[in-house]
Amino acid sequence: MKIIVATRNPGKVGEFQAMLGRLGYDVESLLDYDTAPETEETGSTFEENAELKSKEAAAYFGHAVLSDDSGLEVDALDGAPGVYSARFAGENKSDAANNALLLEKLADTPADQRTARFVCALSLAKPSGETLTVRGTMEGQIGFEQKGTSGFGYDPLFLIPALNQTAAELTKSEKAAISHRGQALKKLEAALTTFLGE
């Protein structure tokens, strides 16, 4: 059983391969298909962007496609960077630049006001255009400095208070058990077989 994941982000591909692999799915991604279209993310919500990507790719491939739109919502920044998380510091999509800008914007924000959450919307689309979309979240707060070398994106700044560790200090399996992507995938898993008719 194959699922194509509509992303070229190696970090996301690795997480999906680990999570879906244990369910018996072979996971391919846009990294395996040079000519696959790059969907313009024009939605105003994570769900809208995820559905845009999954529908376009499913129509292109003629196969079930899973897409993810995820990002960081910081309460002190009125939910920013939100759907602009990957390009927070500009179109070049640099994790280092994004993290530096986030620290700069929160420089005068005390610890108790640095609450945030990671959000992940997953959309599974059939070539017919039918979609199944779910959301997962992981609550935490933004640290004052980067810690940890695992993960990607904002993980080194995202502190999980109950563990007193950042997402980048967790192993892949520890992160998958509690992450926004892991939570969304659990919801998807419950309906996956019925939706795909397998």
Are 90 and 97 in contact, with CB atoms under 8 Å apart? yes
Q: How far apart are CA 134 and CA 183, in angstroms?
A: 9
Catalytic residue status for 75: no
CA angle (62 as vertex; 61, 63 as ends), nearest 5: 85
Q: Which of the residues 26, 68, 69, 108 is marked catalytic? A: 69
Q: Which two tokens stand for residue 185?
A: 């995938």
Side-chain-facing half-sphere of 13: CA atoms under 13 Å: 13
Cβ-in-10-Å burial (0-12, 13-18, 19+) of 176 comes to: middle
Active-site residue list: 69
